[in-house]
Structure 1
Amino acid sequence: MNKLVAVIQLIGSAGVSVVALATLINLIFISTRPETISVVNTLIGQGVLIICLLVLATVLFKKGLAGLRQDKLAANSDTAS
């Protein structure tokens, strides 16, 4: 069960990373528009969103890797006994 959760976390991390990349591409397209207050608000909002998405992806990735390593360590200790 732990291995399944770890794999889901890794897949979720990849998905969140793709969403962050798509948001960054959208941010680049929006930055080519003429500067108005709504464009500036969008730039700030999407910048914050990208940072939050990358933090979430990092946390999911680290937890997923830790879960897989823990599962491998448990399997190795079972075979060593």
Structure 2
Amino acid sequence: MKKILGFIQLFLALLLIILALATGFNLILISMRPETISVVNVIIGQGVLIVLLLAFANLCLKKGRKTLDL
């Protein structure tokens, strides 16, 4: 059961990293729009989201590696 949980945590970490990269790409596309207050709000919100996704991915990666003894 521990191995399954470890693999799930590693998979979740990979998925979160992919989501952070996709959000970063979306952030680049949004930054090309004319600057309005809503665009600035989205840029700030997505910046916070990227940081949180990477922090959670780091946590899942560490726990997954610890569970699998890697």
* Same fold per superposition (TM over 0.5): yes
Q: Structure 2: 5+ residue runs without aligned partners?
A: none
RCO greater where, 1 or 2, for CA within 8 Å and sep 6 or more? 2
Match of 2:40 in 1: 40
Q: Percent identity?
A: 53
Relative to the length of structure 2, the TM-score reads 0.98
Q: Structure 1: 5+ residue runs without aligned partners?
A: 73-81
> Structure 2 CA distance, aligned partners of 1:59 and 1:49?
15
> Structure 2 CA distance, aligned partners of 1:11 and 1:50?
18
User: Per the alignment, in what secondary structure is the counterpart of residue 64 of structure 2?
Assistant: helix
**Deviations 1:27-72 (CA, angstroms, capped at 9, x unpaired):** 0000011100000000000000000000000000000000000xx8
**Deviations 1:3-35 (CA, angstroms, capped at 9, x unpaired):** 110000000000011000000000000001110
Deviation >3 Å, runs of 4+: none
> Structure 2 CA distance, aligned partners of 1:52 and 1:15?
13
- Matched residue pairs, number? 70
Match of 2:10 in 1: 10
Q: Superposition RMSD on alpha carbons, in Å?
A: 0.9
